[in-house]
Structures are given as C-alpha cells and as structure tokens.
C-alpha cells in the first residue's frame, strides 16, 4: 500500500494546482527493468525507451519513420550503413547529440550483455558531427533492428550508474525513481519532437492486484491487467484490448537426452516427431483461449502470426482423432492408466511455468488437461526463473516471445543460438533452416528477406518439424479512465518495456 499512498499524495498535491495546462497521469502498466533504463543493457528493446531517442522508430502501422536519423543508406555490398542525424537534437542536460554519441553507443553496446543483434558489427565511426558509418563483417539485414531499439546515450557522461540516472534526447526526463515503488518522469524541455500533453507521469510498480486496486481507488488512470482480471472494470473506466504478437508457446526439447557444455539437454519423449506432431494436432487452441485467457487473445500457430515473415498458411485444425492416429502409428500405445507407453517409456513430461505469472500457469494447466485424452501426461510445475533456466533445455516450458523483427526467428531456431542465454532453449537444429536464415540475412533489403524467413517456417513449423507447440497470442488489456483517450494503438510486441507508451504522444485528456 506504500506505493498507492505515495501516488495518492502526488495526485492530491497536483489537484491544488489544477490550473496547470497539462494534467498529470499515474500508470500501472508493468514492472521496472532490473538493470535500469540503460539501452545498452536492453532497456527499450520491446518498447518506447522514453528517455532516449533511437535512429528510427515504427509508426502506429509499424511503418518506418525517422527519429534521430534523417538519412540512412546501406552500401551495395551490404557491409556499410551510413547514417545522417538531425542537427537540432539535444540531450536532457543541454548538450548536443552528435555522430560521436551514436558511434559510442553502438561500439559500447556491441560489448554489452543487452546489445540487440550487434554480433556482426566491426565498428561504428563518426565521419563528422552529423554522419556515422557502421561497418559489418558480413551482410546481416536484421542489423537494422538496432536502429529502432537501441537508444542513443551521451559519450561524455555515460557510466556505470547511467541506468539509474539516464540522460537522453527522448521525450521525457527522469525526476525520481524509487526502486520497487515508482518512477516519475516529466517532459524533456530540450526534445525536438512534439511536446507531451501531460505535465508529469508516474509509473507505479505494483503487482496485478495492487494495480487494479489503484484504479478502483482513483489513484491510477490506466492499469494493465492479465486476462483473469480483464473483466473487473472499475466504475469510470473502460477496457482497451490491444492486439499483439505477444505469444505464448510450449517449448519441446528437440533431441534425445544428452549433456552439452555441462547442461542437461534433450528429452526422450519430445524428441519423437510423432509426439510433437500429435501435440500440435491435439490442442484445441480456441478452447485454450477461452479457458486460459477468458477469450482475451487468439490462437497461435507460430511465433510471428500475421507478420510478413510468418509461414504461409502455417496453421493446423484441431483434430483429436488424427493426433491419436499419429501416436498409434508411431507405436505409442495406451497403458493401464491411459498414459501411452513405447518401449517401456511413458509419454510423460513436466510443463514448467514461472509461478509469479498467472497467465502462464493457466496455460500450463489447460494444456495438461487437453493432452490427457491423447494419452500424454503433462504435469504443470511452477517455479522461479532461476529454476526454469536449469531445466529449460531438457523439459518443456511455457515461454513468451513476440517481436516486430524477424531476428526473433533466428534467435529461436538457428542452431548456433542453442544455449545462448534464453535463445533456442530447445536446442532445435535443422541444416535447411540454418541455410535459409543465412540467405535471408544476406538479402538486399529487409523486405526482400521476408520470403526466406517464411520458407524457413515451413521447415520448423507445423508443416515440418513441429519444433514448438505455439498456443496463444495475448491481447494486452488495459483498464483506462474514461477521461483518457489513447487514440490508435500499435500492434504490440512482447510485454516487456511498456509498449503501450509507443503512442503516448497522441494520448489526450478529455475531461475538465
């Protein structure tokens, strides 16, 4: 309750100066970043970085728009990006943004743990105050994703404490951050873009129930809620469901049991293509959406449904009889307790989920029930992310992904990404997929690469290896004050990073 009392005090104080043109907002739309607001450590990778500018940005229709950059070109050999930046940009401390800052950001991020797809960069160099040249060791078309997600930091003042005291050229500057409680931001007076319509924004770092309580108490004007709370709309609020590519899927360890680099990898049950195929055929995804998400989502058949790089018609109809036939033909026969057995091995495995996530728990429990008629025993197991990380290469996990870039497909299915932090947790490997990914990365443009990513989906997806069992695409549901008009919203990526703020510049307060 400390957070709510603090925010309420803020609102009462602001009420005494209600003549101010820009009203204040209090939002409870997600947790705080563990490493702070440092883009070199991952901040902004899934949403609006708030404090920093990026070279490019995506419009509400996901079209490319200029931000810091005024011109960007890729050389004919696809090894050199030349970027010109605007001359009127200043950091919130009043110092100008130059190409030196851009080069510093990219060069420093390349060696940082949170860097976005900078593995093929050989270096970034400021040619003059307005122009930076970035060179690559080989053609890598998804490198451009860093232009959208990597916030530019000041070379002169960047240091170890930057994430807790960010200086940037974005639309907001930090006033204070009480870790675990709240963040207060105000408009950046030096920002080159349109000014924020709000004088101050407070982000509350509450749990889901506490966020809803803040809305009911009149403290918060917008809260994000899971599907289980989406219909608990307080008086004076309305629900805004936002379509996303924020998916949830069941990883299926691809190979037989083994030890790789000291890790337990592979699973004797999910390594069987028949098991993976039967799971995908035997899951009624419409029912999963209704039961686990209370209808607030759509069935998922891949990690990029509806995006230009998804597989063509990569979906499968629910067919329980066909799923059973696949298992029968593969020699998995029902045992005395109904669980199928082959060569003395039961078709049984745990499904891990983070115990702090009610949605993933509901998905794990629903999937377990739906697999029971197939003769597959799935046992939901809640735990910490540390515990999940220890078993995720050998046992199924309910994971969440979703990106505006096809690079996510590379991170999930390229064999060289197996075991790299959270990438390719199932140790999936298919030389055909790897070859298509390499061709996609060598394409003349991002648009030209889309058919190759799509072709790869035919191999790893439902028409091929059934490498994962994708379950649902979430609706991000926000409970919003009737006085707050969000306007058009963007199709949102995975929920890290407050993606709803991508449209913040167009939000309007409609009440007196």
Q: Where are the domains of the chain?
A: 2-32+179-243+476-509, 52-162, 247-474
Domain 247-474 annotated CATH 3.30.1330.60: no
Say whether pLDDT at 152 is over 80: yes
**Given this model, what pLDDT does residue 482 score?**
96
The CB density around residue 187, as the number of other CB atoms within 10 Å, is 17
Does pLDDT of 354 surpass 80? yes
* pLDDT at residue 423 is higher than 60: yes
What is the pLDDT, as a whole number, of residue 48?
Answer: 82
| pLDDT of 280 higher than 70 | yes
Q: How confident is the model at residue 314 (pLDDT cuts 50, 70, 90)?
A: low
Angle between the N-to-C axes of helices 285-292 and 358-371, in degrees from 0 to 180, rounded to the nearest 10: 140
At residue 349, the 3 state secondary structure works out as: strand
| Phi, psi dihedral angles at 360 (to 5 degrees) | -70, -35
- The predicted structure's pLDDT at residue 87: 96
Is 193 within 8 Å of 171 (Cβ atoms)? Answer: yes
Q: What is the mean pLDDT of residues 266-293?
A: 97
Q: Does residue 207 carry a pLDDT above 80?
A: no
Range 108-119 average pLDDT: 77
Q: Summarize pLDDT for 356-408 with one digit per residue, the tens.
A: 898 999 999 999 999 999 999 999 999 999 999 999 999 999 999 998 899 99
Q: pLDDT, tens digit, for every residue of 444-495?
A: 999 999 999 999 999 999 999 999 999 999 999 999 999 999 998 888 888 6
Neighbours of 434 (CB within 10 A): 17
Render 142-158 in DSSP notation, one character per residue. Answer: GGGHHHHH-----TTT-
Per the rule left: phi > 0, alpha: psi between -120 and 50, beta: everything else, 65 is beta
CA distances from 443 to 140, 178, 305, 430, 499 (A): 8, 46, 22, 20, 29
Same fold, 2-32+179-243+476-509 and 247-474: no
The two tokens of residue 205 are 């770092």
Cα distances from 19 to residues 124, 185, 484, 505, in angstroms, run 48, 20, 18, 21
Q: What is the pLDDT confidence band of residue 89, given thresholds at 50, 70 and 90?
A: very high
- Among 257-271, 279-293, 308-322, 467-481, whose mean pLDDT is lowest? 308-322
User: What is the rounded CA–CA span in Å between residue 413 and residue 87?
Assistant: 41
Give me the CATH topology for the region 2-32+179-243+476-509.
Answer: D-Maltodextrin-Binding Protein; domain 2 (3.40.190)
Among candidate residues 187, 164, 194, the one with its CA nearest the CA of residue 92: 187
Residue-wise pLDDT for 34-55, tens only, equals 889 999 998 887 778 899 999 9
We find that the CATH architecture of domain 52-162 is 3-Layer(aba) Sandwich (3.40)
Distance separating alpha carbons of residues 19 and 439, to the nearest angstrom? 59
Give the separation between CA 406 and CA 95, rounded to whole angstroms: 35
Residue 77 pLDDT grade (very low, low, confident, very high; cuts 50, 70, 90): very high
Reported as a single tens digit per residue, the pLDDT across 167-189 is: 999 999 999 999 999 999 999 99
Note the pLDDT of residue 17: 39
Average pLDDT on 287-305 reads 95
Torsion on CA atoms 321, 323, 327, 333, rounded to nearest 10:
-40
């Amino acid at each position: 309750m400390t957070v709510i009392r603090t925010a309420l005090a803020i609102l009462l104080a602001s009420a005494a100066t209600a003549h101010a043109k820009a009203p204040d907002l209090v939002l409870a739309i997600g947790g705080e970043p563990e490493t702070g607001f440092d883009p070199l450590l991952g901040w902004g990778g899934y949403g609006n970085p708030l404090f920093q500018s990026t070279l490019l940005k995506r419009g509400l229709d996901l079209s490319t728009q200029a931000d810091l950059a005024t011109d960007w070109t890729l050389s004919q050999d696809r090894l050199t990006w030349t970027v010109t930046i605007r001359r009127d940009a200043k950091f919130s401390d009043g110092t100008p943004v130059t190409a030196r800052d851009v080069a510093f950001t990219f060069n420093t991020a390349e060696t940082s743990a949170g860097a976005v797809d900078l593995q093929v960069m050989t270096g970034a160099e400021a040619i003059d105050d307005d122009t930076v040249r970035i060179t690559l060791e080989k053609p890598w078309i998804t490198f451009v994703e860093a232009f959208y997600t990597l916030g530019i930091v000041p070379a002169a003042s960047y240091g170890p404490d930057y994430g807790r005291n960010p200086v940037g050229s974005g639309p907001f500057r930090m006033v204070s951050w009480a870790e675990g409680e709240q963040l207060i931001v105000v408009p950046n007076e030096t920002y080159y873009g349109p000014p924020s319509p709000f004088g101050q924004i407070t982000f509350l770092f509450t749990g889901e129930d506490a966020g809803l309580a803040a809305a009911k108490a009149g403290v918060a004007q917008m809260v994000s809620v899971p599907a289980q709370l989406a219909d608990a709309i307080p008086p004076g609020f309305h629900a805004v469901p936002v379509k996303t590519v924020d998916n949830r899927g069941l990883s299926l360890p691809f190979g037989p049991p083994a030890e790789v680099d000291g890790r337990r990898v592979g699973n004797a049950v999910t390594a069987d293509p028949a098991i993976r195929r039967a799971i995908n055929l035997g899951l009624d995804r419409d029912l999963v959406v209704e039961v686990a998400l209370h209808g607030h989502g759509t069935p998922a058949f891949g990690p990029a449904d509806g995006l230009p790089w998804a597989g063509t018609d990569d979906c499968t109809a629910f067919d329980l009889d066909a799923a059973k036939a696949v298992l029968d033909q593969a020699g998995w026969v029902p045992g005395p307790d109904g669980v199928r057995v082959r060569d003395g091995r039961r078709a049984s495995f745990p499904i891990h989920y983070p115990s702090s996530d009610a949605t993933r728990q509901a998905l794990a429990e629903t999937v377990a029930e739906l697999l029971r008629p197939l003769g597959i025993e799935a046992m939901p197991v809640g735990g910490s992310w540390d515990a999940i990380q220890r078993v995720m290469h050998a046992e199924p996990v309910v994971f969440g992904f979703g990106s505006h870039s096809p690079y996510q497909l590379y991170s999930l299915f390229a064999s060289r990404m197996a075991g790299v932090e959270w990438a390719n947790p199932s140790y999936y490997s298919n030389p055909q997929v790897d070859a298509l990914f390499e061709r996609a990365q060598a394409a003349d443009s991002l648009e030209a690469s889309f058919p190759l990513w799509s072709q790869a989906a035919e191999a790893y997806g439902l028409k091929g290896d059934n490498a994962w069992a994708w379950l649902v695409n979430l609706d991000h549901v926000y409970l919003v004050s009737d006085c707050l008009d969000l306007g058009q919203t963007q199709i949102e990526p995975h929920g890290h990073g407050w993606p709803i703020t991508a449209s913040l510049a167009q939000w309007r307060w409609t009440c007196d």
